Amino acid sequence: MSTTAAPASAPAQATFRPSYLARAIAAFSGWPGLVVKIVFLSVVNALAFWAATVLADRSNWPAFGLLVLSTVLIDVIYLVPRQPGLIPLKFLVPGTVFLVAFQIAPILYTVNVACTNYSTGHIISKAAAITAIKENSLEPAQSGTTYAMAAAHDKNGDLVLILQDQTSGKTYVGTKKGLTPIPRASVTLKAGAIVGAAGYELVPVKDLAAIGQKLTDFRVPLGNDASISPQGFDTAVPLQPTLRYDPKRGVFVRISDGAVFRDNGLGSFVSSSKEELEPGWATHVGFRNFSRAIHDPLIRKPFLRVLIWTFVFAASTVLLSFALGLFLAITLDKPGLRFQRGYRSIMIIPYAIPGFLSLLVWGGLLNDDFGVVNSLFHIHVPWLFDPYWAKVSVILVSTWLTVPYFFLVSMGSLQSIPKELIEAAKVDGGGPIQIFRRVTLPLLLVAVAPLLIASFAFNFNNFNNIYLLTGGGPATNDQPIAGATDILISYTYKLAFATGKGNDYALASSIAIVIFFIVATISGLSFWRTKSLETLR
Amino acid sequence: MNVVRSRKRLPYFLVAMAALLAALVVASPAMSQHKAQTLVIWSDHDRLAAVTKVANAWAATHGVSVQVVEKDFGSIRDSLSTVDPTTAPDVIVGAHDWTGQLAASGLVLPLYPSKATLAQFPKYTLNAFSYGTAVKKLYGAPVAVENIGLVVNTKLAKVPTSWANLEQQALAFKKKKSGNLAIAVQQGANGDAYHMYPFFSGLCGYIFGTNRAGNLDPSDIGVANPKFLKNAPLIDKWNKEGLINSAVDSGIAQNAFLKGQSAFWITGPWNSDTLKASGLSFKVVQLPRISCQSVPFLGVQGFLVTKFATQHGVESQARDLVGSYMMTPAAQLALAAANSRFPANTAAGKQVTDPVLAQFGKASVGGVPMPNIPQMNAVWADLGTAWVKSTKGAGATPARASFITAARNIADKIG
């Protein structure tokens, strides 16, 4: 609050002593200021330079351009002297940079993902998917044989493969032109591995890595599109493609029956009989995910129930803990109370323990048959196993975690309410309840209302509390995904990661955007309402 | 103005120089980092030392350098779909049930080890890492196998000779003292379909059937198949007797067995060190046959080559390390021992001397590899929930109803 020196009780001391803050600010002017500025800007420039090299290396030119432009802008703003037009920017730029980097960019990214089909099976790019489909379509030759292999150079210094069929034991030399038998006796074997071949110079094991890429690309054609390809350094297998890619038409054709697999516009090659080639690729699909959220009964059916419970959970957590926190703050605020500090410290404990820990501990305490709570009170409440009791447990534990926060906030706010106002109310003949309702609470709410809204928004998305205590459970009979205590965010998590075919990041993003709008609307409305409270001042 | 400008020129120069210098210092290691031919391997904490040792031994003879990066095992599968391609791994350690998701996304490469190498592995370990809707392919080199078994405290009970014998012994033990558990098997409020699987298979339940090509068929869900439903009333009986209680979670189950409050514990080799340290005399067996053979889920862990190996130009190297070197008995022994598991390679398995591991190996006979198709994601929660609902003591749902609900939910989710 005040680092200002020179207390009022010592007016005799007339020498001016600036505050530490003022002195700190003064350090930014003159030559020390210049040094500070140079150091900061150097760090910024160095980071930008490093980031630029990385971006250039990955050919991410839009981001590269943005980075260079903003770095130049920052340098200009802070280095060009005495330009009155630039002075306000000096204060605005750092905040704006952080706002863009940590708020706007993630939101844009989420919106972008929400409009794609980014999910298991649709992760890679189309070009990569085509490569992968080609690779997956290779089938080992009918014989099922494999070859022991050694890379070697022939007399001309060309790379060849010395091969031994592991079924028949016959030996060959494989070149880019084809397979030629060589006498079995000319090949030296040791424990099944080829260690020598007459007339060829084997590549030493130590140098194999150096020709790794050449080996990866090496194919010994066998006719009929089949070929022998090296698998590592000592094995090769004959492989036959089952699909052919037609780059002109952009389709895959199955060799056996001529079935055509076309790009279905949703990131997959699909045949006329709905057969799909794996993998697919990530692509933009417009508002498909949003319409899925509306039309898919799996998502739509429990949505309203989950939404209502989310409101109930967030609102009751905030109200209960505020009421309890305020009550405790008033009780412990009584002047002359013994051990006041001790009580206050105890109150902070739930706040001081990491929530992750206490949530897991509560899960154990509330266990149906073996939990401390039931055995201590000799009751048998199905805290976590009954849909209704689980809701009660979740609210109670959340309240337990949130009370200390409101206790602290209320304690601070209470002390800022002028005592004269309360004295005046007493003189006017107000009783304690009347004073609390008409004077203390309204004044308190001016300070606390924004915090109540923030806490509501936080609890609305309080994934940890739900996930660590009940995991959204127990399950209800009416539908498969949402459990009795699932709030929107944990429900979204389950939708995205525990249904159908793996992880659906795109669907999760689209529902996250819906949640964002819900929370933003509520917060906006509430802040607008609390403006009226401020007129009390 | 002119005076000011000339006086300020020096600091500008300084700024430029300092910035450039600092930038070069910071940027130079980052720029040189991935140019060299380095094989990047993602390993979990337990196996880190063993992987480093095995990979370095291989790298030394082939003139390659390897970099082993420690990752949380559970996050490796999903990290692979969001990782930055330049720093992405070329080889990962993984569980066989990730195969479907990774292969369907095109993130891993099919492997073709030599015939001689493949012959050293039990069929199921290779099947576990194979996936494909049309052509089935091997995507991983199996390294270690794991499964749960019935751990019997031989001071408190006899190794059960039959299911009826187990039931009778367990219930008699439970009655002895309040706080005793009949069979300590972990569930908790959200269930644990993995640990309940021996009971599930014992009652003739299965997850997915297979189609004509021998691949798992996600449209054939056996969670509520007629044979299982016929046996389902047994679950209601167990619930009434208190043979199984869903309030028991992993901590409670372990605690009960170690404190002698339960004579039977369903757990896996990850607890073998705990068991040995406890000083209890115990034996691990397969759960006795109920109506069908009570087999556990089999888990196979191994190594996979990612598509990034191709991008990084180290595909041959990665294939050699995973598809050849890591499948040799010596490498298998070292890698499997790192987190006390039984090696997948048969020849390596014969060299295992640890009696507890060998007992777990015997308990695996006839086991079913966890389905590795992506649709398995939709099964875990509902199957676990069905068990919880039917074994939560008073107020439990009849098993018939809860497993029919589970089967319907799973079908809805797979769509």
Average model confidence (pLDDT) across chain A = 86
pLDDT of amino acid A88: 84
| CB-CB neighbors (< 8 A) of B390 in chain A | none
Compute the nearest-CA separation of A385 from chain B (Å): 6
Compute the nearest-CA separation of A334 from chain B (Å): 44
State the burial class of residue B136 (Cβ atoms within 10 Å of its Cβ: 0-12, 13-18, 19+): middle
Comparing CB atoms, the residue among A49, A145, A382 nearest residue B23 is A49
Strand-strand pairing, A251-254 and A243-246: antiparallel
* Region of A51 on the Ramachandran plot (φ > 0 left; ψ -120 to 50 alpha; else beta): alpha
pLDDT of amino acid B156: 94
The pLDDT of residue A505 is above 60: yes
Angle separating helix axes B193-202 and B380-390, nearest 10 degrees: 70
Per the model's pLDDT, the better-predicted residue between B252 and A191 turns out to be B252
Is the Cβ pair A46, B78 closer than 8 Å? no
Q: Which residue of B has its CA nearest to A192?
A: B116
C-alpha separations of A238 from A138, A199, A228, B114, B115 in Å: 9, 24, 4, 11, 12
Is the Cβ pair B317, A470 closer than 8 Å? no
State the burial class of residue A382 (Cβ atoms within 10 Å of its Cβ: 0-12, 13-18, 19+): buried
DSSP state of B182: S
Which uninterrupted H or E stretch holds A42?
A: helix A30-57
pLDDT of amino acid A75: 85
Enumerate the H helices of A58-125 as residue ranges: 61-79, 87-99, 105-114
pLDDT over 70 percentage in chain A: 95
Identify the residue among A109, A137, A235, A391 best suited for mutation to test binding to B, counting B beta carbons within 10 A and taking the highest. Answer: A235
Cα gap A289→B246, rounded to integer Å: 37
| CB-CB neighbors (< 8 A) of B408 in chain A | 480
Centroid of chain to Cα B349: 19
pLDDT of amino acid A122: 92
Q: Which of B97, B83, B81 lies closest to B40, judged by CA? A: B83
Comparing CB atoms, the residue among A50, A385, A470 nearest residue B23 is A50
Q: Which residue of A has its CA nearest to B137?
A: A136
Is the Cβ pair A132, B381 closer than 8 Å? no
Q: Which residue of A has its CA nearest to B251?
A: A364
Is the Cβ pair B317, A43 closer than 8 Å? no
Is the Cβ pair A212, B317 closer than 8 Å? yes
Q: CB-based contacts of A193: which residues, under 8 Å, 6+ apart?
A: A148, A150, A234
Is the Cβ pair B135, A137 closer than 8 Å? yes
Q: Which residue of A has its CA nearest to B107?
A: A124
pLDDT of amino acid B35: 45
Cα gap B53→B325, rounded to integer Å: 13
| Contact between A279 and A132 (Cβ < 8 Å) | yes
pLDDT of amino acid A8: 45
Q: Which of B407, B268, B239, B308 lies closest to B34, judged by CA? A: B308
| CB-CB neighbors (< 8 A) of A276 in chain B | 133
Averaged over A510-537, what is the pLDDT?
80
pLDDT, tens digit, for every residue of A201-228? 999 988 888 888 899 999 999 888 889 9
Lowest mean pLDDT among A130-134, A430-434, B382-386: A430-434
| Contact between A235 and B113 (Cβ < 8 Å) | yes
| CB-CB neighbors (< 8 A) of A473 in chain B | 189-190, 385
Compute the nearest-CA separation of B355 from chain A (Å): 32
| CB-CB neighbors (< 8 A) of A79 in chain B | 12, 15
Q: How confident is the model at residue A6 (pLDDT cuts 50, 70, 90)?
A: very low
Cα gap B12→B18, rounded to integer Å: 10
| Contact between A482 and A306 (Cβ < 8 Å) | yes
The pLDDT of residue A21 is above 70: yes
Structure pTM? 0.83
Lowest mean pLDDT among A463-467, A501-505, B72-76, B353-357: A501-505
Cα gap B23→B21, rounded to integer Å: 5
Q: Which residue of B has its CA nearest to A470?
A: B189
Q: Which residue of B has its CA nearest to A228?
A: B112
Per the model's pLDDT, the better-predicted residue between B221 and A525 turns out to be B221
pLDDT by residue, tens only, chain B of 415 residues? 444 444 555 556 566 566 666 656 665 555 544 445 789 999 999 999 999 999 999 999 888 899 999 999 989 998 998 888 888 999 999 999 999 899 999 999 999 999 889 999 999 999 999 998 777 899 999 999 999 999 999 999 999 999 999 999 999 999 998 889 999 999 988 889 999 999 999 999 999 998 887 788 999 999 999 999 999 999 999 999 999 999 898 999 999 999 999 999 999 999 998 999 999 999 999 999 999 999 999 999 999 999 999 989 899 999 999 999 999 999 999 999 888 889 999 999 888 888 998 899 889 989 999 998 888 888 988 899 999 999 988 888 999 999 999 999 899 888 7
Q: Give DSSP secondary structure letters for A415-440.
A: HHS-HHHHHHHHHTT--HHHHIIIII
Is the Cβ pair B316, A212 closer than 8 Å? yes
Is the Cβ pair B30, A46 closer than 8 Å? no
Q: Which residue of B has its CA nearest to A211?
A: B316
Q: Which residue of A has its CA nearest to B19?
A: A42
pLDDT, tens digit, for every residue of A307-345? 999 999 999 999 999 999 999 988 887 777 788 888 888
Lowest mean pLDDT among A205-209, A258-262, A494-498: A494-498
Overall residue count recorded for chain A in this entry: 537
Averaged over A408-426, what is the pLDDT?
87
DSSP state of B376: G
Is the Cβ pair B12, A50 closer than 8 Å? no
Compute the nearest-CA separation of A457 from chain B (Å): 27
Is the Cβ pair B106, A471 closer than 8 Å? no
pLDDT of amino acid B30: 53
State the burial class of residue A530 (Cβ atoms within 10 Å of its Cβ: 0-12, 13-18, 19+): middle
Comparing CB atoms, the residue among B5, B23, B115 nearest residue A146 is B115
* Dihedrals phi, psi of B387, to nearest 5 degrees: -65, -45
Radius of gyration of chain B (CA): 26
Q: CB-based contacts of B48: which residues, under 8 Å, 6+ apart?
A: B68, B70
| CB-CB neighbors (< 8 A) of A486 in chain B | none
Comparing CB atoms, the residue among B23, B389, B415 nearest residue A45 is B23
| Contact between B266 and B195 (Cβ < 8 Å) | yes
pLDDT of amino acid A529: 77
Cα gap B329→B374, rounded to integer Å: 31
**Two tokens, residue A181:** 């038998």
Compute the nearest-CA separation of A503 from chain B (Å): 8
Identify the residue among A50, A211, A261 best suited for mutation to test binding to B, counting B beta carbons within 10 A and taking the highest. Answer: A50
Compute the nearest-CA separation of B155 from chain A (Å): 25
| CB-CB neighbors (< 8 A) of A144 in chain B | 115
The pLDDT of residue A72 is above 80: yes
pLDDT of amino acid A380: 82
Return the number of CB contacts < 8 Å for A and B.
258
DSSP state of B96: G
| CB-CB neighbors (< 8 A) of B242 in chain A | none
Q: CB-based contacts of A357: which residues, under 8 Å, 6+ apart?
A: none
**Two tokens, residue B267:** 């757990």
| CB-CB neighbors (< 8 A) of A192 in chain B | 116
Compute the nearest-CA separation of A315 from chain B (Å): 25
| Contact between B348 and B332 (Cβ < 8 Å) | yes
pLDDT of amino acid A9: 46
A36 three-state secondary structure: helix
Cα gap B379→B223, rounded to integer Å: 9
Q: CB-based contacts of B237: which residues, under 8 Å, 6+ apart?
A: none
C-alpha separations of B138 from A474, B98, B126, B216, B304 in Å: 38, 13, 7, 15, 10
pLDDT of amino acid A325: 93
| CB-CB neighbors (< 8 A) of A232 in chain B | 316-317, 319-321, 323-324
